[in-house]
Structure 1
């Protein structure tokens, strides 16, 4: 294992250990906030597989997120808690099946046309739950009883929900890390770099892209399921294009091509959002929190084009440059004297 790989592994290990210890030092608000951010991190990882892994910019990721959320509510019985053993796989499967349908059609297009087709399919799903009784219309629907697993897991407790979400986040991260190092992951990397060359070497790229798209949708469905269970409520805004745009900003902010970037971007985006929304800090200006958040994101993209994940490397380079410059000046002064 190289020094670079060791530092990456150390960062991820410390990151997850810190998340595991966080509830013991925080109140209910902090636990709920970080639970939400971890769900966004899973959502960001799902899109990172597409954009960073295969070079496919999808603008309809919120549809899979929303389908997973709605399935969690629609399939739950009203009189008793559902079992996680079947409800969670059902929600993930529903999102994955819709992703399979969307991907099989949209992947026949490229570039901006692919982006627009995925957006169109997402808007279709949005209007199905917004304009029909199926999803409760614009008011949304409530989850009567949160699912569990007998006496082992009770997701009614915020702390239990926190650790269950953390376990899902770790599982998704490890799964994608292994997947992207496999032959499948290397094929996706080749497609991202030069799809025409991959075809010339004998790879049928369409099945690889479709598999990645379907898997990405299923993971987004998992995030939506967790979000619905945490809040006990779903509404059509969970499928809006605004959310697809937000998760795209997360992975760009964190750094494309890095799973760590998806984690960092999700936390940075959500925490910045909470910061600029704070009336205690910004007073009436908190109503215009989009302005402050937008300016910070623009500055981050301008000064860190490779994302926040590249910040340590830039700091080391500047520090090394400063030390080198200082040594050269000192040597010149010595020679002059």
Structure 2
């Protein structure tokens, strides 16, 4: 099965997003407008690239299903349409020279933001449906199965964290601002930020846990790939049970880091200036994960070892 046939609507969306990334990079070069502290086309580059990764990943996962494939196909199609609407609104507002998020400045701005907000909810529900179908289609390899399930769950949590950004800040409520919601906690949006990403370097930024969480499924897939390649040289990794346990540790560690990043942002603390409690929490998570992984690696594998199959996709081929 060629990549385009994994899930045609999502793969077509991925192609459009790839073209949009290139177009937006061109916009960065020729358009010198600045919006909320960043080049105005930077948002299109970031969102198009994120959607591209989402579309390819979930199209591939849907292609692995053996049961309830039609339900997941329609859910993936709904997600593709919703994401297309979201990017269309973002590009429209860039062309108009204004922000797409939290913008109630004019009736048109409010209608576009409401449309985008609705599309985001639809995409989340569609992703939930595909995730539930994936749970009903266990992969033959327990490590791959764990990566799919934990990755999908964490991705849904990361996406849901975006709701924290739509709540108007106290200052916005007091002044009756036409902007209702913010990425930054403790400071107005548009302050000093990391290059390209724009994440605040002076206050908390809710985009960080939102972004990190959404891409859990890709990260855990990379963990599985690394373990399977490692199994060629490390005996204990040839055990499917050991690989699954290590994926579980990676998922638990990822979830802990996601919780800390959310806690840090909500306290108005910059990612690049963590305080003692944040460093302590990250240290505890890292130590627990490293210790657990070491115990698994030192464990005597069962006599029956299951060799990895690095050339097969995660899950059963439809």
TM-score by length of 1: 0.27
Greater C-alpha Rg: 1
TM-score by length of 2: 0.28
